[in-house]
Amino acid sequence: MDGPCRLRPATAADARVIAALERRVFSDPWSADSIRETIGMPWMFTQVAEDAVGELVGYVFCREVAGESELLNLAVDPVLRREGVGGTLLSAALVWLTARGAHETFLEVRASNAAAIALYERAGFRAVGRRPDYYQRPVEDAILYRRPGNGPA
59 CB burial (10 A radius; 0-12, 13-18, 19+): buried
Query: Is 121 an active-site residue?
Result: no
List Cβ neighbours of 31 (8 Å cut-off, separation of 6 or more): 19
- Catalytic-role residue among 22, 64, 108, 135: 108
Query: Is 68 an active-site residue?
Result: no
CA–CA gap between residue 45 and residue 64 (Å, rounded): 8
User: What's the average model confidence in pLDDT over 18-35?
Assistant: 90
| Percent with pLDDT over 70 in the chain | 93
- Catalytic-role residue among 59, 120, 135, 145: 120
CA atoms within 13 A on the CB side of 97: 31
Nearest-CA neighbor of 57 among 34, 83, 38, 32? 83
Kindly tell me if the per-residue pLDDT of 80 is higher than 80: no
- Report pLDDT for 53: 86
- Report pLDDT for 127: 95
- Phi, psi angle pair for 16, to nearest 5°: -65, -40
- Report pLDDT for 46: 92
In tens, the pLDDT along 100-129 reads 888 889 999 999 988 899 999 999 999 999
pTM of the complete model beyond 0.85: yes
User: What's the average model confidence in pLDDT over 87-101?
Assistant: 89
- Report pLDDT for 150: 56
| Percent with pLDDT over 90 in the chain | 54
Q: Report angle CA 106, 7, 55 to the nearest 5 degrees.
A: 115
- Indicate the DSSP class of residue 82: T
Kindly tell me if the per-residue pLDDT of 1 is higher than 60: no
CA–CA gap between residue 113 and residue 121 (Å, rounded): 12
Kindly tell me if the per-residue pLDDT of 2 is higher than 70: no
Structural domains of the chain, with CATH:
6-148 (3.40.630.30)
User: What's the average model confidence in pLDDT over 80-90?
Assistant: 84
pLDDT band at 3 (very low <50, low <70, confident <90, very high): low
